[in-house]
Amino acid sequence: MDKSIGLYFHVPFCKSKCYYCDFNSYSGMDYLAGSYFDALYSELDRRLDTIEDRPVRSIFIGGGTPSLVEPKYITRLLELCSKHLQLDGEAEISMESNPGTLNFENLKAYKQAGVNRLSIGLQAWQDRLLKELGRIHDRDQFVKNIEAACKAGFSNINADLIFGLPGQSFEDWKETLEAVTSLKHGDGSPVLKHLSCYDLKIEEGTVLGDRLKAGTLTAAEDELDRRMYQYTIEMLSDKGFHQYEISNFARPGYECRHNLVYWKAQEYAGFGAGSHSYLDGYRFSNV
């Protein structure tokens, strides 16, 4: 019986709250990072006896925006995992990040700490759409951060994208996919090995949700949404990506192992505010 598990660590801090986001994240509170990570380390220590005998195949540091906090916190977290847990020799260690919070020195520090898979949130190629989403960056910052990540040694990079956005045309989405799949290294090889393409769901309590309720925003039409999704599948297949999950597309060998833990209903342990776990047949969550 396979006893291996995945680990998830939640970092709830953001520079600002995106207008579509209903995740457990908070803006302007990253001054609490030191106290929060001390609590995260303590939670890991307190629960070691439940997972220390189980091989760890993947670690995912999500949020929020993990790249907003100082790298020393990520370094310490991964040191504790390496010291006390059975990390698979080829364990995938992913970290989410956002343009506007990244720089070359920090990227080097994440890589040296053991992060070997970087996910960068682009969402859209058009600056006007990024502004409408409340994003803190433009596409040029994304491109510069991609270049810095490659320079820092990252070879397994994902970009998060969203379709079905208010005001997003079919041509906008085609341009976004064409742009990200055209990013190349100097030798002509593709930069991005993985793409996560999410269909926007406007949630209550978000800025977009409030605007929709007030009648000041119009959601994407279902038929346009369907066309975008179908085009995504076909276009990315032509570009060498295969769809291995509803929203995720990878070049061969670059499927996200942590995504597959969830997709295959395998077990995982979650740590931090609002995290969920599935261990020994039981599902439970933090508040």
Domains and CATH numbers, the chain: 5-285 (3.20.20.70)
Phi, psi of 39 (to 5 degrees): -65, -35
The residue whose two tokens read 């506007």 is 100
CA distances from 186 to 117, 150, 183, 251 (A): 20, 11, 10, 19
> CA angle, corner 197, sides to 187 and 67, nearest 5?
75
Task: Compute the distance between CA of residue 75 and CA of residue 232 in angstroms, rounded to an integer.
Answer: 36
pLDDT of residue 52: 96
- How much is the mean pLDDT over the chain? 98
pLDDT-derived band at 197 (thresholds 50, 70, 90) equals: very high
- Whose CA is closest to 12, among 69, 56, 50? 69
Considering the chain, what percentage of its residues have pLDDT values greater than 70?
100
Amino acid at 221: E
pLDDT-derived band at 287 (thresholds 50, 70, 90) equals: confident
In tens, the pLDDT along 138-167 reads: 999 999 999 999 999 999 999 999 999 999
